[in-house]
Amino acid sequence: MYPIVPFFAKFCHLQCHILQTFNYSEQLQRLFGYSSFRANQEAIVQAILAGRDVFAVMPTGGGKSLCYQLPASLMDGTCLVVSPLISLMKDQVDAANAFGMKAGLLNSTLSSSEQHEVLARLQEGFYDLLYLSPERLALPGFLERMKRAPLSFVAVDEAHCISEWGHDFRPDYLALSSLRLALPGVPLTAFTATATKRVEEDIVRRLALNKPLMTRASFDRPNLFYQVQLREQVNSQIEALVAAHPDEAGIVYRLSRADVEKTAAWLRDRGVKALPYHAGLDSQTRSRNQEAFNRDEVQVVVATVAFGMGIDKSNVRFVIHGDLPKNMESYYQETGRAGRDGEPALCLLLYGRGDYFRLRKFIDQLAGEEERQAGLAQLGRMMDFAEKPVCRRRAVLHYFEEEYAPDNCGACDICKHGVESVDATTEAQMIMSAIYRTGQRFGTGHIVDIVYGAKTARIIALGHDQLKTYGVGRDRGKRFWRQLVEAMLGEGLLVSEGEPFPLLHITAQGEEVLFGRAQYVTHRMLEANVSGAISAELSYDASLFAILRQLRREMAEREGVPPYVLFSDKSLHQMCSFFPQTPEALLVINGVGQMKLERYGKPFLEAITAYLVDNPEIIPPQMVKGEELPEPARRVRKSGGTETLAETLRLAKAGLNVEAIAAQRELKPSTIAAHLGELLQQGHTLDIDQYVDREVRSAITDLFKAHGLFRLRPIVEAMEGRAGYEEAHIVRGFLVSQGWKIEGNE
């Protein structure tokens, strides 16, 4: 924003003075469009502006980039940002430029003449930010050259990569140890999302930070909802969650490549746009798939844990673990990719005891005994997390040695739905009796079959249908018994041992219950309705959201940047709650600063205004710059149904027509038609003929051809009563699903 022009260089002291007094809070609003700092950001910004070294730990999504971008925009000279992933650099630069900063990059993807140009501009003081890889710093002569460049400070991102104790050590990072000596007058700042005490000391020592401001933000991610469910039909469980969030992006983690492929195929067969990502794919396919996800072209990526380092997408609304992660650190990092924009997001872990054995295999392959022991202990903690009826948030934070004070976090399955204590002594005795009578030589499946009274060939062959316990639990259903065995394993009444077919054994604690000397009270998690979890927290106009999202995607495509670089999901959600129609009102929206307003605002304002014309029942609130956000828009309608697309989709798939769905949901038919239009746009298959008769459809199609897809009103008017907004919505959705584009009339 404030490049040094060489001519003015000699007046630098004067300019510095002016800049220092410039209010950085104002810059926060003007440049980034945020009304306040997050935890620790302000202290870090102040320290950097005062020329101090900084060491900052912040969880993923905590807002590290702002900490160096904001001072970089105010200070003389260029901030060098060292960043490990070349694949991410361009997106980072695009994002900074979208805010109106002058950012560039220097890495091996540039031709040598481009590199020369970048270096020349650096020398002129053109950039606020210059991103480069650690390898670049290590090149002979590079640091020497930097001595002559006008630098404000250096920011080392992902600083834990410098430590061999970290989980992601990169030898290239060792080159950063020369920074201090080579550039003695340039302040150094280091940022990381993971650092134990040991790693922390290592970073400070290796970078030779000088009396740095040390900050550590809480690892709490209040917008993440944590949930654990017993794994039953893994793919159906995953699909249920994905289907409940048709317009939201998510990551599904699976342990093996084969499972990644299976789950991805399962989702695709059911009409979900999903792509796989694992180390077995060639690197081109991998980066193509990652790119498609980044750019909102596919809804879901199904991946092994290899996925994620290279992803900066802020609008991931759910992360599902189809298998248990190997430790809490991984779980935290992987779930951490959800909700980086601060909007609610869901983290679902599907858990089965079998995971233990599969993960054991990896641990057994570790080289040293010490590592194996550590691995096992870590796995034990992960299992505790999944099984113990303790607030998930408290458990996660406890792992990072952080105390979580509130009794109820309000955003995990345990806190939200509660735990039910039930006396299951009799039922536990039935299970153990079956185990006992068969000599403790069978696994869960067979034992459950006995208690449930299944007629399998194995049961008959072994004569187990003659046992006294055979069929005593017929009235409860197999699922109940499987869950009970899981609970008994978790609570130590049973152990499951042996490979590859683990057998159930009764422990001493189990015998106490079996012989009636102790009671067994189990803590059953009350079943939470997973699908409701995200959208219940977000109330915005889903139909407008789909329109704005499409607009964002198309504008981003034209600019060659990922969609979230234009506006975050959070910004769009707010637009769909407050319906800003003027530039001043748009500036009130989170994440909309002056530059974004100027560059991208107009088409969005037009789309919102057009939408309000099409939906006169919406009454948008007044928005005043500098004031808090008002109450969300009101909608004048007689009854209040919840406006989720997912429910409309479900009813449409069940064969109901527009009127029937509207009646059932107590919504207006036009709203349902709008939903169907959005669903079609999102790629769901619906039978168009059922909703709009062919002749009308072809007339509407011709009109869209002439007028473009952007507005409905001209179409409806031209139809002169032969069709209304309902048909127009549905046909437009259909045309988009056929590859037509909605263009803003710029």
Distance, in Å, from the CA atom of 36 to the CA atom of 38, rounded to the nearest integer, reads 7
* Binding partner at 608 among Zn ion, ligand ADP, none, C-beta below 5 to 8 Å by kind: none
Min dist CB 96 to ligand ADP, Å, is: 11
Q: Which is nearer to ligand ADP, 247 or 341 (CB)?
A: 341
* Binding partner at 393 among ligand ADP, Zn ion, none, C-beta below 5 to 8 Å by kind: Zn ion
- For residue 221, state whether it binds Zn ion (rule: CB under 5 A): no
- For residue 409, state whether it binds Zn ion (rule: CB under 5 A): yes
Pairing of strands 274-277, 213-216: unpaired
Q: By CB under 6 A, what part of segment 561-590 binds ligand ADP?
A: 568
Total residues at interface with ligand ADP (CB under 6 A): 17
Which residue number places its CB atom closest to ligand ADP? 63
Candidate list 342, 352, 603, 677; residue touching ligand ADP; CB under 6 A: 342
Q: By CB under 6 A, what part of segment 38-77 binds ligand ADP?
A: 38, 41, 58, 60-66
For 376, counting Cβ atoms within 10 Å of its Cβ (0-12 exposed, 13-18 middle, 19+ buried), the class is middle
* Binding partner at 62 among Zn ion, ligand ADP, none, C-beta below 5 to 8 Å by kind: ligand ADP
* Binding partner at 412 among Zn ion, ligand ADP, none, C-beta below 5 to 8 Å by kind: Zn ion
- For residue 341, state whether it binds ligand ADP (rule: CB under 6 A): yes
- For residue 314, state whether it binds ligand ADP (rule: CB under 6 A): yes
Q: Which is nearer to Zn ion, 51 or 406 (CB)?
A: 406
Residues 134 and 82 sit within 8 Å (Cβ to Cβ): yes
Backbone φ, ψ for residue 34 (5° rounding): -100, 145
Site mask for Zn ion (CB under 5 A), range 415-454, x = bound = x---------------------------------------
Min dist CB 334 to ligand ADP, Å, is: 14
> Which span (36-44, 108-116, 382-390, 465-473) binds ligand ADP, by CB under 6 A?
36-44
Distance, in Å, from the CA atom of 417 to the CA atom of 398, rounded to the nearest integer, reads 21
Pairing of strands 316-321, 78-82: unpaired
> Which span (53-61, 404-412, 552-560, 696-704) binds Zn ion, by CB under 5 A?
404-412
For residue 525, CA distances in Å to 322, 381, 414, 427, 520 come to 19, 19, 7, 17, 16
Q: Which is nearer to ligand ADP, 323 or 334 (CB)?
A: 334
* Binding partner at 34 among Zn ion, ligand ADP, none, C-beta below 5 to 8 Å by kind: ligand ADP
Which neighbouring-strand residues pair with 634? 619
For residue 402, CA distances in Å to 223, 349, 393, 395, 399 come to 18, 22, 10, 9, 7
Query: How does DSSP classify residue 314?
Result: S
Candidate list 412, 533, 544, 674; residue touching Zn ion; CB under 5 A: 412
Q: Buried b / exposed e across 402-426, counting CB within 10 Å, b at 16+?
A: eebeeeebebbbbbbeeeeeeebbe
For residue 706, CA distances in Å to 113, 678, 710, 715 come to 46, 21, 11, 9
Q: Which amino acid appears at position 697 of this protein?
A: R
Min dist CB 413 to Zn ion, Å, is: 8
Q: Which is nearer to ligand ADP, 40 or 237 (CB)?
A: 40
Q: How many CB atoms are located within 10 Å of the residue 359 CB?
A: 22
Distance, in Å, from the CA atom of 31 to the CA atom of 101, rounded to the nearest integer, reads 8
Candidate list 31, 88, 391, 576; residue touching Zn ion; CB under 5 A: 391
Tokens, residue 356: 């233990």
Q: By CB under 6 A, what part of segment 646-665 binds ligand ADP?
A: none
Q: Among 54, 192, 31, 24, which residue's Cα sits nearest to residue 103?
A: 31
Tokens, residue 267: 């989702």
Pairing of strands 129-132, 618-619: unpaired
Site mask for ligand ADP (CB under 6 A), range 170-199, x = bound = ------------------------------
Tokens 């970290």 appear where? 166
* Binding partner at 580 among Zn ion, ligand ADP, none, C-beta below 5 to 8 Å by kind: none
Min dist CB 570 to ligand ADP, Å, is: 7
Residues 6+ apart with CB under 8 A from 522: 421, 422, 424, 428, 484, 487, 488, 491
Distance, in Å, from the CA atom of 508 to the CA atom of 514, rounded to the nearest integer, reads 10
> Which span (109-117, 288-296, 338-346, 731-739) binds ligand ADP, by CB under 6 A?
338-346
Total residues at interface with Zn ion (CB under 5 A): 5
Q: Which residues bind Zn ion (CB under 5 A)?
A: 391, 393, 409, 412, 415
Q: Which residues bind ligand ADP (CB under 6 A)?
A: 34, 37-38, 41, 58, 60-66, 314, 340-342, 568
